[in-house]
Amino acid sequence: MELTVPYESRMEEAHAFKEGKYLDLTKELKKDGYEPRVMPVEIGARGFMGSSAYGLLSKLSMCDNKITKALMLLAETAENSSRWIWSRRNERLLHKD
């Protein structure tokens, strides 16, 4: 599983990129007898949930009530985190030298 927080307009692109990122590793693990699953999850920077988030929680056998609560919490956390990063965008610690 890998969480990505892209702009909402780039969620499909981010999903495809993450799936491709692990393609070679997945092939190698299958060759060694494992059954790997690549599960990229996207939550938009402004809290929009991609269908991948719901799919992941469903695969983890969560019931609908808990999925709804978890999605709301994830959306709120993504939005708050993005707001925090934006508010500190000019601070030197956030930039590579």
Name the band, by pLDDT with cuts 50, 70 and 90, for residue 73.
very high
What's the mean pLDDT in 57-74?
A: 90
Q: How far is CA 68 from CA 36, 46, 52, 64, in A?
A: 27, 17, 14, 6
Vertex 53 angle, CA 44 and 4, to 5°? 45
3-state secondary structure of 28: helix
Element (DSSP H or E) covering residue 58: helix 51-59
- What global pTM score does this model have? 0.69
Distances (CA, A) of 97 to 6, 13, 72, 87, 92: 23, 28, 36, 20, 9
Rounded Cα distance, 85 and 80, in Å = 9
Q: Which pLDDT score, from 0 to 100, does residue 97 have? A: 61
7 vs 70, more confident: 70
